Amino acid sequence: MNITTPLTDDIIEQLHAGDGVTITGTIYVGRDAAHKRMIEALDKGEPLPFDPQGQIIYYMGPSPAKPGKPIGSAGPTTSYRMDPYAPRLMEVGLKGMIGKGNRSTPVREAMQKHKAVYFASTGGAAALIAKSIKEAEVIAYEDLGAEALLRLRVKDMPAIVVNDIYGGDAYEEGQKRYKKV
């Protein structure tokens, strides 16, 4: 299924754990340090550097772009480190997250409550994923280097739905199927 950002409830309701998708449109990029700053901004009552309504955030810190390229290698980072921050962002309208690895129970509950989805892209397939990124622009926190907040334009970026709004979890379901102990 090809999905286009921003995500609407109508799109989200169609997504189920284990579904393969391709994502097209604008997505935002932030990881550990950018999340810390976004939450500090919300705590102070300040606006975020982008309007999170219906948006997807990609947990990623790219390698530097070579001349003539929009971005360097650009695969996902491990998501659980953003767990302390994710529910707060869903409260203000975030609808999707892309990363890799398991999420905490509070994050999974927040996804069901706020109708948001967690996707995984293949960790370590960073050169391949970079091919689906057409434009990249730093929109805030430039001083953080590889951890700056970015806006990307992506075309057919491959991902798998890990957690849907129905409580499904592609890791749990997949692992149960092949477990032999």
Partner 1 sequence: MREIRCEEITETVARLCIEANYYLGDDVLKALRQARDAEVSPVGREVLDQILENADVAREEEMPLCQDTGLTVVFLEVGQDAHIVGGDLYEAIQEGVRRGYKEGYLRKSVVEKPFSARINTRDNTPAVVHIQIVPGDRLKIAVVPKGGGSENMSALAMLKPADGRQGVVDFVVETVKKAGANPCPPTIVGVGVGGTVEKTMWLAKHSLLREVGQPSPDPEVAELERDILEQVNKLGIGPQGLGGGTTSLAVHVETYPCHIASLPVAVNIQCHSARHKETVL
Structure tokens at 54: 């219906």
User: Rounded to an integer, what distance in angstroms lies between the CA atom of residue 80 and that of residue 84?
Assistant: 8
Q: Classify 131 as helix, strand or coil.
A: coil
Closest approach, Cβ 79 to partner 1, in A, equals 8
Q: Which of 38, 19, 25, 37 is nearest to 117 (CA)?
A: 19
Structure tokens at 65: 């772009």
Closest approach, Cβ 123 to partner 1, in A, equals 4
Closest approach, Cβ 4 to partner 1, in A, equals 22
Beta carbon nearer to partner 1, 52 or 108: 108
154 φ, ψ to 5°?
A: -115, 155
Closest approach, Cβ 3 to partner 1, in A, equals 19
Instruction: Annotate 137-153 with b (16+ C-beta within 10 A) or e (fewer).
Output: eeebbeebeebbbbbbb
Collect all residues with Cβ–Cβ distance below 8 Å to 52 and sequence separation of at least 6: 89, 92, 93, 94
Closest approach, Cβ 46 to partner 1, in A, equals 21
Beta carbon nearer to partner 1, 46 or 142: 142
Residues that bind partner 1 (CB under 8 A): 18, 33, 60-66, 72-75, 77-78, 80, 100-102, 120, 122-128, 130-131, 144-147, 158, 160, 170-171, 173-181
Closest approach, Cβ 150 to partner 1, in A, equals 12
163 touches 34 (CB < 8 A):
no
Beta carbon nearer to partner 1, 33 or 92: 33
